[in-house]
Structure 1
């Protein structure tokens, strides 16, 4: 039996963090009902790209859920939610702090109807503090936690990250983890709780190495000057003769010894503690002498921690992912089936009956009657 079977989750969230969290919970067997505004629903329904008018991003994040269409500003409409609120196990919302309370749907309001409810609020800055009411997006959270300042390009300017780390790693994953912990706690105590997930502050653990150095030694991290920011030849990106790139990460001595031997680094430069910049420059010149394919052939079968920087198209063609079934689940949209978003839920914990369709807006409104 799927571990979250028979759990009901009311999902008031939109866009990415909350929907991804509830997608993972649905994968584990939970019944997830999205509560969407009339007419348009979740904004992602209308985002491009789309297939026959169905937003691909929405479909990827909301497969296997149900949808009800409801105007939360209408007291009569909110009253229709009462039966679902009374039997829900989890409520998840993603409005700015205070919005749900003003709608009469805050934690205390719901707890009055359902004392053991687990109520999860996701916001950028958290429900308290000077920034609590400020708007923000992923780029803002990475900028204000110091992460963006460590991602400088060759011109010295910060580089736009290609991933939404705050939304997913700072929002969706912590929400899922804390909801599961709260469910376990409720099993023991019979009591629910309110979970305040702040996407911005949840990025700081990714800087554990920098925070430790700063607090213990007073050494603040430098862009381009630390182990994981380009300050060592053992963790760097090198251009090949055919303008491809090798991501080299032979950090440990055993890997570094293999790497220096394969690339032909002169013995006097192998001790990279003496002059890291000189060693990095020498490695760069050596890598630039051969094509990417030549280097991949040279690295073959050697414990060396080096990879070709691949495009997404190239990455998806790697047989490793197919062998592990990473894209084995299907998503039906536009009259055809495409690979569903890979799940972080282990196969032994997934619900094989999880749907392969995203819900149409309001298709489960009959649950309100």
Structure 2
């Protein structure tokens, strides 16, 4: 298996959520990740803590700081997820660490960023995505904003972008010999993930009202529907040929006479689709559309997803300690082995 970050060493300061997620991503890509935790505390456990070396240090003592600096001096990158100035107060701020290793990449993960009027206030994923516009955009028409788990702030706009930034900065450091600070803010990241929607909005192609647009559940051909067994299927037949295959599958070919993108028709079309899909169970509809290009899939639960035939064939999940864990993504494949 190709491990593209083999030979890279990262020092991670133990924390919660997005910074450990970043460390997990780097470790899965082959980096040696050394996690520094608090002396007397239990080593982190769970999926986000996998593939680490763990060192317990008392960072309130000079010998603990000295040991941390020794580890940092031989590392390519450092990642931390504390509030601004915490690492500086410990004596492990960017300037101190840079003095020990000029090529060090110093990755900082916060909600608000290192600067700005909110930088030193408390917050969580929901707060960070709220000011980015992302939270406002998710939910049913006329309903409340729906919290999209902590995927958009903590993990997508946070830990994943920190990992990307750290790798990009390591590439720069290897060519220039000079490291830098990566200031990863979940507010910035969540806003960047909304780039396409902001582009549509600027072009007049997106209404600033959730649940009324092409990709937010407003379109009858891009949303979920309840089936006879109170489980759901996901319908995503945006393109005309896929839309036609879907309508044929549910026995509603007469609706093809109505222009697919005409919003005036959407309520009528949605009601008709909902009525049709309510007549069979989720798995029955899955069987109807199996192998077709109608873009229909079952909405699987956390218990069901690891057992799905496609996920199983891909090895997307594996058992660890009696529990299913998602595996490394993306994958790296040698030329010539792409179809293996």
The reply to whether TM is greater than 0.5 is yes
Alignment partner of 1:271 is 2:263: no
What is the correspondence of 1:297-316 to structure 2 with a 5 Å cutoff?
297-316=287-306
Report Cα offsets for 1:326-356 as digits up to 9, x if no partner: 234x64x5xxx6554411142549xxxxxxx
CA contact (8 A) 1:21 1:175 kept: yes
Given the alignment, which residue of 202, 225, 230 partners 2:212? 225
Given the alignment, which residue of 285, 292, 297 partners 2:282? 292
Counterparts of 1:228 and 1:310 in 2: how far apart (Å)? 20
Shift of 1:145: 1.9
Alignment partner of 1:5 is 2:6: yes
Given the alignment, which residue of 61, 85, 93 partners 2:48? 61
Counterparts of 1:307 and 1:121 in 2: how far apart (Å)? 38
Report Cα offsets for 1:196-249 as digits up to 9, x if no partner: 001121112332332113333395421110111222111122222232222111
Alignment partner of 1:105 is 2:92: yes
Counterparts of 2:313 and 2:302 in 1: how far apart (Å)? 18
Counterparts of 1:241 and 1:59 in 2: how far apart (Å)? 37
Alignment gaps of 5+ in structure 2: 335-340
Given the alignment, which residue of 315, 322, 329 partners 1:344? 329
TM-score, normalisation: structure 1: 0.82
SS at match of 2:148: coil
CA contact (8 A) 1:241 1:289 kept: yes
Instruction: Compare relative contact order (CA 8 Å, sep 6+) and give the higher one, 1 or 2.
Output: 1
What is the correspondence of 1:73-88 to structure 2 with a 5 Å cutoff?
73-88=60-75
CA contact (8 A) 1:27 1:345 kept: no
Counterparts of 1:293 and 1:322 in 2: how far apart (Å)? 18
- Which stretch has the larger CA shift, 66-75 or 85-94? 66-75
Given the alignment, which residue of 148, 154, 168 partners 1:161? 148
Shift of 1:41: 4.8
TM-score, normalisation: structure 2: 0.88
Q: Which residue does 1:34 correspond to in 2?
A: 35
Cα 1:237/1:29, change in 2 over 3 Å = closer
Counterparts of 1:84 and 1:111 in 2: how far apart (Å)? 13
**Cα RMSD, aligned residues only:** 2.3
Counterparts of 2:270 and 2:317 in 1: how far apart (Å)? 38
CA contact (8 A) 1:37 1:71 kept: yes
- Which stretch has the larger CA shift, 337-346 or 306-315? 337-346
Counterparts of 2:275 and 2:124 in 1: how far apart (Å)? 40
SS at match of 1:275: helix
Counterparts of 2:185 and 2:312 in 1: how far apart (Å)? 35
Q: What is the aligned length?
A: 330
Q: Which residue does 2:271 correspond to in 1?
A: 281
SS at match of 2:96: helix
SS at match of 1:313: coil
Shift of 1:91: 0.9
Counterparts of 1:338 and 1:144 in 2: how far apart (Å)? 36
What is the correspondence of 1:174-189 to structure 2 with a 5 Å cutoff?
174-189=161-176
Given the alignment, which residue of 202, 205, 210 partners 2:197? 210
SS at match of 2:106: strand
Counterparts of 2:95 and 2:184 in 1: how far apart (Å)? 17
